[in-house]
Amino acid sequence: MKSLFEEMCGTYTKVNGYFLPDLTLPDDGLGEEVYIGILGMRRLDYLKKHKKVLYSQLLMSGKLRAHLHEIDTTARERGERMIEQMMKAQGVTEQVKAQNQMRWVGLVNQIRACADEIIREELIYD
């Protein structure tokens, strides 16, 4: 009597006396050298802990790495644009930097933290 897996043309390999199904994940088409930065890794961690069904669906369909790469790239680009726009809106210029470097650093750090929080809420933990 064949198992359902065998009826669907599944095969097994014997390893140390146990028959293990021959399972492989589909190719995601991205190749080996796909960069996933800190923002993509944060998204992965969030999916594993809080969105287990979505994580499983992306993993089994072979779309997880593409999703993480897209989130990482989008978050980085949007963050850079947001920081640039916020600096312009708040008047944080090279002139401020030349006049008072410590004030400039404080303002830029505050803007970066704000942009980072927005990116995390909108893209990473959504």
Q: Identify which has the larger pLDDT, 123 or 7.
A: 123
**Predicted structure pTM score:** 0.73
Residues recorded for the chain: 126
User: How many angstroms separate the CA atoms of 41 and 124, rounded?
Assistant: 9
DSSP H or E run through 26:
none
Q: What is the pLDDT of residues 45-82, one digit of tens each?
A: 999 999 999 999 998 888 999 999 999 999 999 999 99
Other beta carbons within 10 angstroms of residue 65's beta carbon come to: 18
How many Å is the maximal CA-CA distance in the chain?
83
Q: What is the pLDDT of residue 126?
A: 84
Mean pLDDT of the chain: 89
User: How many angstroms separate the CA atoms of 91 and 107, rounded?
Assistant: 10
Read off the amino acid at residue 69: H
Beta-bridge partners for 18: 15
Q: What is the pLDDT of residues 25-34, one digit of tens each?
A: 666 666 667 8
- Of 33, 90, 28, residue with least CA distance to 65: 28
Contact 37, 72 (CB under 8 A): yes
Any residues with CB less than 8 A from the CB of 103 and at least 6 apart, and which?
96
Q: Record the tokens describing residue 48, joined without a space.
A: 């594993």
User: How many angstroms separate the CA atoms of 114 and 46, rounded?
Assistant: 20
